[in-house]
């Protein structure tokens, strides 16, 4: 199982939210590039980079952070937050993101996302399924829908999307453990899915548990910044 460290950006700084609440913001580092280089330094190969300003504004804001990290590391970056137009998508990929993370748009404008998949190929996308009680939530988690996570995933798996990360909003940023039962349920329905666990990871034991149930990767954020999982532990897990 691959470890994908997360860097969330507000006003160019590395932050974390709790339950997706912008009022519950904690700044961890003023220099995201420094954080990214530390991850690369222990052998990690991926990075989950989220423009929280962009997610809220509906357009990418923190271009410079993506550009710096893409230019000064070899990390394979998936970038999300505010990708709403084809022009923005192209710029994100041209700026150095390996994958574009799509969430709200896939719910609100499925025909647009399906057109992008046809044009750019499913492999450049990482689909985000943000979940509240097994239903999809969008718009930086501010809006709930009646779409089940299972229907949502099936729709886009049928279109060729292979990487889907699933975040349980009730778990995210709380360091209370991941939604293992939900992930098991998803993997029972879709055994071929490259399911990426996201939210709630609080210890090395959580990562071992996610690996055992068949997750292909896990996004880890707050646990690193709060030293619940040390850089050395991540390095050893990554071997």
Instruction: Give catalytic residue positions.
Output: 8, 130
- Phi and psi at 133, nearest 5°, equal 50, 50
E strand intervals along 70-227: 76-80, 99-102, 125-132, 135-138, 143-148, 163-168, 194-198, 217-220
Q: Write out the H or E segment, with its range, that includes residue 188.
A: helix 180-189
**Diameter over CA atoms, the chain:** 44
Structure tokens at 99: 């994958």
Angle between helices 110-120 and 86-95 (to 10 degrees): 40
């Amino acid at each position: 199982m691959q470890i994908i460290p997360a860097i969330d950006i507000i006003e160019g700084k590395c932050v974390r939210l709790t339950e997706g609440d912008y009022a519950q913001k904690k700044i961890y580092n003023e220099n995201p590039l420094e954080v990214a280089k530390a991850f690369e330094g222990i052998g990690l190969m991926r990075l989950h980079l989220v423009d929280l300003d962009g997610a809220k504004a509906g357009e990418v804001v923190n271009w410079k952070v993506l550009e710096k990290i893409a230019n000064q590391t070899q990390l394979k970056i998936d970038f999300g937050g505010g990708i709403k137009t084809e022009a923005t998508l192209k710029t994100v990929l041209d700026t150095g993101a390996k994958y574009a993370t799509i969430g709200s748009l896939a719910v609100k404008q499925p025909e647009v996302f399906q057109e992008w998949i046809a044009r750019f190929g499913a492999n450049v996308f990482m689909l985000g399924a943000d979940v509240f009680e097994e239903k999809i939530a969008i718009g930086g988690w501010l809006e709930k829908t009646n779409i089940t996570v299972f229907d949502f995933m099936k729709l886009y798996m049928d279109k060729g999307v292979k990487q889907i990360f699933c975040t349980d909003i009730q778990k995210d940023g709380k360091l209370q453990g991941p939604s293992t039962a939900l992930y098991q349920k998803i993997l029972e329905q879709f055994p071929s899915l490259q399911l990426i666990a996201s939210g709630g990871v609080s210890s090395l034991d959580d990562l071992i548990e996610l690996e055992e149930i068949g997750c292909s990767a896990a996004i880890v954020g707050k646990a690193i910044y709060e030293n619940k999982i040390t850089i050395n532990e991540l390095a050893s897990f990554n071997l």
